[in-house]
Structure 1
C-alpha cells in the first residue's frame, strides 16, 4: 500500500480512537506531515520500537502497540503452552500514554491466552528486567522512550533471562510483527474480563521488596552509611527512580538525602528541563542549586526510566563538575575492584564488559587487577548475552557503556541506574572518609593509567530524507575510507556490517561480533573513531577516543581530532546534497 492508501484506511476506520481521529484530521492540512506519519511502518527492531506519539503506521499509538504485542504473542505461542503460562511481565514509565500502552499490550497478549503481569504504577526499566527473572516469566515489556523528548514513547521487549531480546529471538518476533497486515483490526478483550479470568495480574510491592533486597547485595560496605556525613542530592528528572533510589539509600542507612522537589514527581512533559537526559549539564541545573544550598557532596540524576545515571561532584571551589559516562564507569569499576581486592573477595576468574564505543580506560583499570575485559557491540543486551554465555566460566563484576549505563549485580540484565546510584554514593562516602572526592580519585586513575578522553558528535536527520542521508554518509565512509587524520595514520578499520577488520597492510581478519551497521577506525597512536546510526533516535553518532599524558594535552588533541573529522563529514554531506 502507498502511504496515501494507508492514511485513507485509517480515515475510513470507524473505530479509530477519538483523539487519534481528530489528530488525523489536523494532519491532512499538511501533506508532508501526513506522509511522515504513514510512509513506513514504525520499525520494530532488535531493541523494540520508539517513535512520536500520534496517529499513523509510523507513530506510537494503541494500534501499533497492539501490532507489536500481537507479533510477540505469535512468537510465544510457537514456544508452546509452558511459555504462555510463564507469561509476560509489563512495566511502564512516566511518559504520555505509558499506562495506556502497557494495558493495551497486556490485553493483546491476554486475549491470546498468554498470562500477563502488569505493574500497578510506574517502575524503572531495570526492575522490569529483575521482575522477569523473579517471576520466571517468558518475556517482558517496558513502555518507555528513555530520555527522548516528551512527544516520544517506545516499546522494549525482554527475554526469559531478563535481558533485551537477543538477535535471533528478536528476528523471529520482528518477522511475526511484519506478518500482520492491518494493525487496526487486531481484537482485544475487555480489561476487567481478562482480570477476572486471571490472565491479567497486577503486581507491585512484592517485586519492589525483592528488588530492594537484591540491591543491598551490591554494597561493598553495607554499614558505611550509618556514620557517614555525606550529603546526597538526587533528582529522578520526573521519572521512575524516585522511590527505589531513596528506599535503597535509606536501607543502607544514609541520612542526608536531599531530593530536588521540583523534579521529584512524575511529569510526562519534563517541564523543568529542556531534555530529561542526565548526560547533559542543563539537566543538573536545579540539582546544582540544591547542592549549593545544602553543601552537597554528590549530585545524582537518573533518566525517566532509570536505566541511565549522571553524577556530579563538588570541587574545592564549591562548584560542581559533571562526570562523563566513561569517567563514572572507570571510577565505579576501580572502586569495586579495589574493595574486593582489599577484602580478599576478588575472584581469579573475574570479568568486566564494555561496548566498542566506550573508553579504553576501563580495560586498563581491569587489567591492573588481573581482571579480564571484553568488548561488545553497542547495546546493553550484548553485555547481558555475554553474562549468560560465561556463566560458570567467568564471574561477572561490572558492565558499562559510555552513554551513562552501568550494571554491578547481575540479578538485573539491563543497565541499572538504581544500582549505580547506590554504588556511586557508597564510593563517594568511602573516599570522603579518606579526605578525597570522587574527582580526586579520578585524577589518581588518570595518573596511573593515562589521560584518556572521549568525545561525541552527532547529526540529527529526521524523516525519510534524513534516514537516507545517514545511510549515504556510512556508504561514503565505506567506499572512501579514511587513511589519516591530523597526520596520524589509520592502523586498521573494522566494518561490523561486513564483519571484517582490514589492517593498514591490507590484511583482513574476521570480527567475532554480530553484524551491525558500524564502522570503527583505529589510529597508530591509539586514537579511535567510531561511526554508528542511533538505534533509538534519528541520528548518526560519531565517537572519539584519545589518550595523552596530561589533561591539557588530551583535551587539545581531542578537539583537533573532532574538528578535523567533522570537516570530513561536512564535505561528504555537501557531495550528497548535490
Structure 2
C-alpha cells in the first residue's frame, strides 16, 4: 500500500477521490476505528465520503458523521476550528484575547467535537470559554455577548436525524456571521489544505495554562433572568390553573425550561419523562423536530392524561419551538410556525399597547418565506415590518443595524420554521424565550375563557384566512445536489406564468437581485443580499417560493394564500401546491 507521504506528494487537493481515500487510510493520524469504517465502505459510500470537502458555508457546516472529507468528524472539525483561529489572530491581539465561547448539544460526538474546537483554538493562544454540559444555541449566543467574546461556536445539527452533526459560528455580537465576514472566514477555512496534518495541544495542558476555562452556573442564571424579562403581564392576569405539557425531545431545553416555568409561578407543568434526558439517538421520535406533528405523539398522550391546555416541544439545541393546542372539537392540533408566530406577536403587541410600552418606532423582522399574516397584524398596531432572507442571522443583522441607527426599536423576529425571538440579548432564534411567552399567552387568554385556538380563529376573522404549506424533496449525495441545481436552473430559464389558474404577476430572483413584472418584462433591483432563491407572486395575494436548504440535502417549496374563508384557503392552497409541484417534476 502507498504511504501517506507518497499519496500526499501527488497534491492533496488535486488527487482523485480514490487517492484521497487511500491517503486517509494510510495516515497515522486517522485512528484505527475510523480506518475500520473506511475499509467497510462500498464504492458508492467512498465516493460520497470523499468526492468533496464538507462545505463550510456562511452558517458553518453540517453533515453526516463518519470518516471522510465530506463528513463530520474530528478532522474536519479541526480544520474549521483552525480556520477560525487564524481568522481571529489576523484580526489582531485585541480580538484574539477576547476569546471564543463554545457550547454543544446532546448529539453523537458533540462533546468530543467541542473539545477539538477548544484544543485547536486554544493552541493559538486564544482563550476558550467552554460549557461543561450540553447547552442550548440561544444561551451560547447570550454567553458570547455576556462574556464579550470575539466569537462563539455551537456544536449541533439542530433538528436533523441522529446521523448528523454540525458546527455553527457566531460573531462578537452573538449572531451568526453575515455574508461578508462569513465569506472571509470561509477563505481561511479553505486555506487549511490538510486536516490530517493539524496537531493542536492537549486539552489538559491548555486547561492547566488557563487558556481553556469551564463556564459555571453564573451564565445560566443570567440567561434565565433575561428570559424571564420577556413576561408581559402580572401573575394575577393569568389563569393559575393552566395545564402545561413540555418536552425537549431529548435535547438541551429540559433543565432551563422547567426551572424557568417554576420561577415564573407555573405549577401545573408535566414533562414527557421518556424525552427529558439527552439521547443522541432520539429514540422515541423519527425526527427530533417540533415542525413534525409526529414529534408530539408522546406529548399528546400526556396531554390527554392530564387534560392539558397547551403542549410545547423544543428541538435538540433549543432554538425552535412547536405548540400544540386543543381545537374546536377538543382534539389536539399542532400549530404551524406561521400560526404560532402570529399568535405570539399579537399577544406581545396587544399587551405592550395596553401597558403603554409599545414604542412609536417598533419593528418586526420576518423572512421572505414567512406568512404575511404577521405583517398584517403588525401594521394594525403601527409597527413597521421588514423582510429578510431566510436565516436568523439576517434578522440579527437588522437588529444590530436598527440599534446603531436608532431608527427602530426591535419588538419581534420570527420565521415560519418555528424560530422566534423577543429579547435581543440573544441574537438567534430562542425557543426558551418563545416557550415562556406562548405559555403566558395561553394563561392570559384562559383567564378570559379562550384557548389559543379560539384566539387564532378570531385573528383569521379579523385579518383574513392565511394558509401556508411547505413541500420538500430530499436528494442526497453528489447526484442529488446536481438534481436540485437543475430544478432551480429550469425555473429560472422557464418561469411559470400561470399556477393553478392564477396569473403570475412578479418573479423575484434573489441570486440575480431582480424583480420582474411578468406582463411587461420590467425589471427592478432587490435590496436584499444575493441568495439562491426564487419567489413568485400570484394574483389574489398568493405566493410561492423555491429555496435549496443551506443545511440539509433538500429543496424546499413554500406556498401561501389568503382567502375569505378557511375552506376557500385550504382548497386554493392544495390546488396551487399540486400544480406547481407538477411543473417542477
Same fold (TM over 0.5): yes
Distance 1:409 1:444 in 2: 27
Query: Secondary structure of 1:513's match?
Result: coil
Structure 1 residue 2 corresponds to structure 2 residue 19? no
* Structure 2 counterpart of 1:297, from 300, 303, 309: 309
Deviation track 1:196-227 (CA, whole Å, cap 9, x = no partner) reads 11110001311100001101111002535886
* Structure 2 counterpart of 1:511, from 520, 526, 529: 526
Matched-pair contact (CA < 8 Å) for 1:93–1:305: yes
Unmatched segments (≥5 aa) in structure 1? 571-578
Q: Residue 477 of structure 1 aligns with which residue?
A: 491
Structure 1 residue 448 corresponds to structure 2 residue 462? yes
Q: Residue 542 of structure 1 aligns with which residue?
A: 557
Distance 1:563 1:486 in 2: 8
Matched-pair contact (CA < 8 Å) for 1:377–1:513: yes
Alignment of 1:250-265 (within 5 A): 250-265=262-277
Q: Residue 581 of structure 2 aligns with which residue?
A: 566
Q: Residue 215 of structure 2 aligns with which residue?
A: 203
Q: Residue 554 of structure 1 aligns with which residue?
A: 569
Deviation track 1:484-521 (CA, whole Å, cap 9, x = no partner) reads 11221111100000001011211111100000000000
Alignment of 1:386-465 (within 5 A): 386-391=398-403, 392-465=406-479
Structure 1 residue 367 corresponds to structure 2 residue 357? no
Q: Which moved more, 1:480-489 or 1:264-273?
A: 480-489
Distance 1:423 1:405 in 2: 13
Distance 1:162 1:222 in 2: 30
Q: Residue 159 of structure 2 aligns with which residue?
A: 147
Matched-pair contact (CA < 8 Å) for 1:53–1:151: yes
Unmatched segments (≥5 aa) in structure 2? 1-14
Matched-pair contact (CA < 8 Å) for 2:238–2:444: no
Query: Secondary structure of 1:44's match?
Result: coil
Q: Residue 39 of structure 2 aligns with which residue?
A: 25
Alignment of 1:49-128 (within 5 A): 49-128=61-140
* Structure 2 counterpart of 1:16, from 17, 20, 30: 30
* Distance apart, 1:18 and its partner CA: 2.7
* Distance apart, 1:316 and its partner CA: 4.7
Matched-pair contact (CA < 8 Å) for 1:226–1:252: no
TM-score by length of 2: 0.96
Matched-pair contact (CA < 8 Å) for 1:299–1:312: yes
Distance 2:260 2:488 in 1: 44
Query: Secondary structure of 1:304's match?
Result: coil
Query: Secondary structure of 2:174's match?
Result: coil
Matched-pair contact (CA < 8 Å) for 1:216–1:222: no
Matched-pair contact (CA < 8 Å) for 1:482–1:490: yes
Distance 2:32 2:216 in 1: 31
Deviation track 1:62-118 (CA, whole Å, cap 9, x = no partner) reads 000000000001100111111111010000000000000001001000001111100
* Distance apart, 1:37 and its partner CA: 0.3
Pair 1:316–1:528, CA change in 2 (3 A): closer
Query: Secondary structure of 1:23's match?
Result: helix
Query: Secondary structure of 2:504's match?
Result: strand
Distance 2:435 2:236 in 1: 15
Structure 1 residue 489 corresponds to structure 2 residue 503? yes
Aligned pairs, number: 568
Structure 1 residue 531 corresponds to structure 2 residue 525? no
Alignment of 1:314-393 (within 5 A): 314-391=326-403, 392-393=406-407
